[in-house]
Structure 1
């Protein structure tokens, strides 16, 4: 129903609603309630939330058991060298069926660029990337067509839309992230070519196995270290412990969660903005948009609450080249919502996979209490495959902020005593 604070039809029209009849007066003579729904005339609504970015805009599409998934990238600068092979590297890191601790679904996730690239260079027009689905098994989801998986999006999708794609969870499936990873590969390349920026994520926790922070040097960490084992933990000893923890629940039809830590090196100073669009706020938003995420911790995070100001502050100094640096990095490379040139670091918590093959209590669409044993092929732990997803989303944030910095602060000559050229 729609409310009007005036009894006159003129006032009702001024709110932008179509005139409707059948008003019923309430106790106040100035309040009218329509018994019919109004149709907004001038109300713009962002309905789907499938697009991220202001300058480098990425829209993902597709569902887990549909014909395919992918993305459209709009706003990419022209003349950036990119190929399907460049994108395939990260898509292979994300794809299912890559080891015994991931879902056994077999997909090659082979990408195809349909527009926006000519002779190996971006043209400045929208870039369309598609990945076909080839190993769907819709019959695995028969029970879930009416029963709601505990802690899954099944129930809330029905509550919001009144309809949903049952097979594979539709848009709530992690296959939606294929478009993000493909776009992220392009964003990574732009950042690397323009700024020398490197983005690396790794698994720092699986269930109760926690990698000590001092075992990883954010200044020297390499992709080869991360990719040296199937769980994507850069320390071999802790990697084996994490794999064992996943195996222990996998054979029981259960699941566990974990934490992905991410660093970004050589990030230009000045990216981000104050107040509502702080750089760490943008990072938090995109991380929490990934499937199964439950927490985001930046810089010193919650441990910083145990320190005093004198213990927590990152003191400034001037290095041998004359650049202003910080002796510590509890700020995580961002101060006041703006990057300061130090290594950006944060952690993302992922919950245990909600679809498990153990018996659980739930309800169906008829509100009857039932028992559910979910079938299908699902990850016993999402964090090994979440690593390239996290990297991709960081890249999308940073490249969007890089273009924003050019638009706002590089139009006129910079102040060389305070600013560094991009």
Structure 2
């Protein structure tokens, strides 16, 4: 018999009794039986009883990665060909001005069918705020957002019922879960990012209103066409420059070459990848923490959780490995306002895992879309080799539509880090000598806030 004592479950025998679901605090599972003893932390477990004299099954269910953030938390839900997709945003401070218009602007930048170089799937992606906002202000309660799916075509995926798309999540979802949503790829579809972009709009609003932080991303490479570093001035870059063409490259000449490269592979039923550069301006000093929760580590995890991402670098990135310390170091100076600044920004706005007040600069690499209409060799679920020609409406290059997705994830990280900074470091007055105007300022006291309202 299996014994459950002191939060320990010894696997290797059956669990007697009817089906039950148990929540255990600080649960530990000891797995023994031919393998070296291994301990796994659990959130909960379900003991499933089967007919008498047959082996019982212990199902272990842990977190499945649908929630992001610590204090500013976002949970996304929905599949590509389900009824809809959405999110729940928890931890947003109250009294932040917010309407569906704020979210819709960002969702329109992400939606499919917006140009000839994106998927032909037509969705309006109209969002509806179900809770957490009243009279144009956040209430401090969970904000629920839903976007319906209206243009599904499940018949395009009939061949994929048994055959795996090369380099897609089809196979690995089966390896892990034993079941998958074939139509549209389910949670592996880029439609999952609708919830992220909607939540990112809230994070952007919070950052802009409270610290003046701006997050901008743009396409800096499509296949072999690259926008050289230094051509774009990150201190003056505007959203209008980014949105001036369908490729979202702020240099019009380079953008035309990128569009031509995408069209060339689209007509051949193929796809290409590229790079998105993202910047965050006016970031308060002091966000992030040392060791495991460094700001660049949090940013890397966030953007690398997006579909099709394969690379991340910040500041000088891999090029920095070819420099000497004397070449790479960002020397300090005092600016006209008396703030500590750096003469260069090879650190990318982060030193020691903590923001230094300079512009954060990062690059994210996206692989080519795996679903293409060219014939590819693959295998079926029953391990038979075959060929597959995918149908459906897919992006020949995901990079232009990835721009608002990257912005959203970066904004979510910064908003979460801002709240964590307040929680840890704002109990005592800020040091005006070191933190200055570039740092996060303390929140006003109740008396100060009342005085401000009385003045108006």
Short-chain TM bin = over 0.9
Displacement of 1:319 in angstroms is 0.4
Q: Note if contact 2:12-2:33 (Cα within 8 Å) is conserved in structure 1.
A: no
- Confirm or deny that 1:263 pairs with 2:318: no
- Confirm or deny that 1:66 pairs with 2:82: yes
Aligned counterpart in structure 2 of residue 294 of structure 1, from 284, 291, 310 = 310
Counterpart Cα distance in 1 of 2:2 and 2:407: 54
Q: Which runs of 5+ in 1 are unaligned?
A: 1-7
* 1:246 aligned partner: 262
Displacement of 1:13 in angstroms is 4.1
* 2:401 aligned partner: 385
Counterpart Cα distance in 2 of 1:141 and 1:74: 35
Counterpart Cα distance in 2 of 1:308 and 1:337: 21
Q: Note if contact 1:315-1:326 (Cα within 8 Å) is conserved in structure 2.
A: yes
Q: Which runs of 5+ in 2 are unaligned?
A: 15-31, 38-53, 442-456
TM-score normalised according to structure 1 size: 0.92
* 1:146 aligned partner: 162
Counterpart Cα distance in 2 of 1:214 and 1:81: 36
What pairs up with 1:174-213 in 2 under 5 angstroms?
174-213=190-229
- Confirm or deny that 1:395 pairs with 2:387: no
* 2:43 aligned partner: none
Aligned counterpart in structure 1 of residue 361 of structure 2, from 320, 345, 357 = 345
SS in 2 for 1:213: coil
Mean Cα deviation higher: 62-71 or 410-419: 410-419
- CA 351–26 in structure 1, closer or farther in 2 if over 3 Å, else same: closer
- CA 260–19 in structure 1, closer or farther in 2 if over 3 Å, else same: closer
Counterpart Cα distance in 2 of 1:337 and 1:143: 47
How far does the alpha carbon of each residue in 1:100-138 deviate from its partner, in whole angstroms, 9 at most, with x for none? 000000000000000000000000110000000000000
Counterpart Cα distance in 2 of 1:13 and 1:120: 52
Counterpart Cα distance in 1 of 2:33 and 2:159: 47
Displacement of 1:16 in angstroms is 1.6
Counterpart Cα distance in 1 of 2:55 and 2:413: 43
Counterpart Cα distance in 1 of 2:11 and 2:381: 36
Displacement of 1:17 in angstroms is 1.7
Displacement of 1:421 in angstroms is 4.0
Counterpart Cα distance in 2 of 1:145 and 1:19: 35
* 1:280 aligned partner: 296
- CA 19–311 in structure 1, closer or farther in 2 if over 3 Å, else same: closer
Q: Note if contact 1:13-1:19 (Cα within 8 Å) is conserved in structure 2.
A: no
How far does the alpha carbon of each residue in 1:345-400 deviate from its partner, in whole angstroms, 9 at most, with x for none? 00000000000000000000110000000000000000000000000000000000
Counterpart Cα distance in 2 of 1:21 and 1:102: 54
SS in 2 for 1:205: strand
Q: Note if contact 1:82-1:121 (Cα within 8 Å) is conserved in structure 2.
A: yes
Runs of 4+ with >6 A deviation: 25-28
Displacement of 1:47 in angstroms is 2.4
* 2:98 aligned partner: 82
Counterpart Cα distance in 2 of 1:392 and 1:27: 46
* 1:160 aligned partner: 176
- Confirm or deny that 1:16 pairs with 2:8: yes
Aligned counterpart in structure 2 of residue 371 of structure 1, from 387, 398, 406 = 387
TM-score normalised according to structure 2 size: 0.86
Counterpart Cα distance in 1 of 2:125 and 2:357: 35
Displacement of 1:416 in angstroms is 2.1
Q: Note if contact 1:64-1:171 (Cα within 8 Å) is conserved in structure 2.
A: yes
Q: Which has the higher contact order (CA 8 A, sep 6+)?
A: 1
- CA 396–62 in structure 1, closer or farther in 2 if over 3 Å, else same: same
* 2:241 aligned partner: 225
For the aligned residues, what is the CA RMSD? Answer: 2.2
What number of residue pairs does the alignment pair up? 405
* 2:253 aligned partner: 237
* 1:307 aligned partner: 323
Counterpart Cα distance in 1 of 2:33 and 2:203: 56
Q: Note if contact 1:326-1:342 (Cα within 8 Å) is conserved in structure 2.
A: yes
Q: Note if contact 1:18-1:38 (Cα within 8 Å) is conserved in structure 2.
A: no
Counterpart Cα distance in 1 of 2:144 and 2:431: 39
Counterpart Cα distance in 2 of 1:115 and 1:27: 51
